[in-house]
A and B are shown apart, each in its own frame.
Chain A
Amino acid sequence: MKKPKKFSIQEFDLWYNDFHALKNINMDIPSNMITAFIGPSGCGKSTLIKSLNRMNDLVEGCKISGSVLLDDESIHGNIDVNALRKRVGMVFQKPNPFPMSVYDNIAYAPRTHGIKSKFKLNEIVEQSLQNAAIWDELKDRLKKSALSLSGGQQQRLCIARALSVQPDVLLMDEPTSALDPISTAKIEELVIKLKNDYTIVIVTHNMQQATRISDNTGFFLLGELIEYGDTQQIFSIPRDKKTEDYITGRFG
């Protein structure tokens, strides 16, 4: 891989109580590229993406071993977890806008991180919505409740919200699985545009989506990383029989 690595995951294991959810994962995630995690339900791909910003800390009975390095620094060591999550933003499977105005949805995180100037906040709100390609649709509705938006708009608002704190990385956990094809296409287009400025990791159930947008793909099965490499290669000449069976639709 030509680009420098953003994340380096080394001998990473994760348990939910007695359930061994991730087994000895080793992978590097390159900067400014789109890395897709694919695999059948329960394979561990969502668990892994949630480990990258330590959202699994919220799950009771979750234990880990091994290491995850972000820019060569351990995310489990002497690091402020809130600062980590500011650097590593996340977009969820189901759009989860806060039940407040469009403006406040975007301004919430910058305010939380100490920005008080109204002028600066206005600027961030506009910039974030611009970057999420939804400014033109929402600029006249900033005071409206975010819940009044369509599902696709809500998800792009959530992307804008994640961008409001200027993260390095954007984690996306099946961001289009609850959306219609047109909204999905808009988000895919947006994700491709965003990789110029952000490192993107996306979990997807949709293999066409992985081929359309990702540079690298990792295939997971039963908590193991079966195969990881260039997306073109994985989907045309997979090295592992299990990968081939999955992408040709023999199971999953």
Chain B
Amino acid sequence: MGQRSLSHYMEPAAKILFILSASAAIIAVGLICVFLFMQGLPAIWNIGVFNFLLGTDWRPTWNPPLFGILPMIVGSLYVTAGAILFGVPIGIFAAAFMAKFCPAPLYKILKPAINLLAGIPSVVYGYFGMTVLVPFVREIFGGTGNSILTASLLLGMMILPTIITISESAIRAIPSEIYEGAIALGASHENATFRVVLPAAKSGVMASIILGIGRAVGETMAVRMVAGNQAVLRMPHEFLSGTRTLTANIVLELGYAYGDHRASLIATGVVLFVFVMLINTLFSLLKKKDGV
């Protein structure tokens, strides 16, 4: 009897607990959204949407101040594109290796190593970038070493675990009958893997790339430690010059900004938020397509 009444209360209690836990995440996102937009949107309005998004000069302390964040938008795009350029091919080949070529004893070492790579704090990546990559780029290409290229290399490294882990599970999720079908036609292991299995896993691989892009766009600390941070509109051929990303812009100046300057930084956050939302929407669209 006692047991029965206990379970009688347990079930609704557990249900409430689950609902509360689930709501916590949603409420947090909602609150971030509301406050960010509440503080950021008026600033964008005051500066003027056009002046803010397409303005090429960021002079927050001038009189009158200029709040153009185009250099930072472009900077974020450059380093993200660079990260994709380095990280995606290596990540996909690594995933194919892990899923289809790796001998079991080596896998036991590599798998935890990749997981560890995902867990390293970004400031540690940044330190690695400052002490290894920056001198390396300076040595090979000249300049200061704090550059779009350096940030791209570092970000490419940082998105590797995301791309490898998700692509690997996408490749493993392809039924072995598909692989065997190719082998039975006289295809080599490599051919079956790269021409049949990998294309079959393409939506999962695309998802891993999009999550990687999300990580690269949002990365702050490591990028600001190696990118040089000049708020100057760069052209693509200036990949050895420094750049400043949206994230770095916020973290560099928020400490001392006040008034319109502070509001414009929060508005920078709004732009970043919209970027990330677009990427996540793309991700869920892809997943939906995969599910059908």
Contact = CB atoms under 8 A, between A and B. Distances in A.
A96 B186 contact: no
Nearest to A57: B183
A85 interface: yes
Contacts of A98: 178, 181-182, 196, 200
Interface string A31-70: 0000000000000000000000101001000000000000
Q: How large is the interface on B (under 10, 10 to 19, 20 to 34, 35 or more residues)?
A: 10 to 19
A162 B186 CA distance: 10
Nearest to B192: A112
Contacts of A84: 186
A135 interface: no
Interface in A74-99: 82-86, 89-90, 92, 94, 96-99
B260 interface: no
Contacts of A85: 183-186
Contacts of B182: 98, 108
A113 interface: yes
A203 B186 CA distance: 21
11 contacts: A58-B180, A82-B186, A86-B185, A86-B186, A92-B181, A92-B184, A94-B177, A108-B187, A109-B185, A109-B187, A112-B186
Contact of B185 (A58, A89, A97, A100): A89
Contacts, number: 63
A96 B178 contact: yes
A51 to B, nearest CB: 13
B204 to A, nearest CB: 12
A89 B183 CA distance: 10
A165 interface: yes
Contacts of B199: 99-100
Contacts of A96: 175, 177-178, 180-181
A68 B106 CA distance: 35
A128 B60 CA distance: 70
B195 A112 contact: yes
B21 interface: no
A158 interface: yes
Contacts of B23: none
Interface in B163-219: 175, 177-178, 180-188, 191, 195-196, 199-200
A6 interface: no
Nearest to A94: B177
B187 A82 contact: yes
A156 interface: no
Contacts of B178: 96, 98-99
B5 to A, nearest CB: 50
Given A98-B196, A108-B196, A92 B186 contact: no
Contact of B181 (A112, A113, A158, A164): A158
Contacts of A158: 181
A96 B185 CA distance: 12
Contact of A83 (B175, B186, B191): B186
Q: Top 7 nearest A-B pairs by Cβ distance? A: A86-B186, A109-B185, A96-B177, A90-B184, A85-B186, A96-B181, A82-B186
Contacts of B184: 53, 55, 85, 89-90, 92, 162
Given A98-B196, A100-B199, A112-B195, A55 B177 contact: no
Nearest to A98: B196
Nearest to A109: B185
A112 to B, nearest CB: 5
A209 to B, nearest CB: 22
